[in-house]
Structure 1
Amino acid sequence: MSQIDNAMQFDPDVENALSAYAGSRRIHREDAVKQILRDWLLNEGFLHSGEQGIPPEKLNASNDD
């Protein structure tokens, strides 16, 4: 089974956006998916980068020390 056979398939509009994203960065589709997912998980607080602190987009009056 080839590597492309294991690829997750998305709706055509998402596939087109993913292709545009990968092309604009000159990376492979699989790398684009990894990068997008990692960035989203970091921004949503599900994955920690190893850096301390709260991302700027998550700062608000309740967590301003």
Structure 2
Amino acid sequence: MSSSCEGKSSWPELVGVQGETAAATIERENPLVNAQIVQEGSSVILNFDCTRVWVWVNEDGAVTRVPRTG
């Protein structure tokens, strides 16, 4: 999907993990990105950015979508 971005770009194994843990894992596995935790239902900017990973979480703080660069 984001093959033009450097480093790991998708983390399907983090669905269900707590958001803070997922964000730390993402940034450790790809130091070129900034993982940003976002509550489900929130609005986010829609531009593509290789240095950004949205970490979508539910009301319990668990990751609900596969985090990806973009």
Q: TM-score, normalised by structure 1?
A: 0.29
The answer to which structure, 1 or 2, has the higher relative contact order (CA under 8 A, 6+ apart) is 2
Rg larger in 1 or in 2? 1
Greater percentage in helix: 1
Give the TM-score normalised by structure 2. 0.27
| Larger proportion of strand | 2
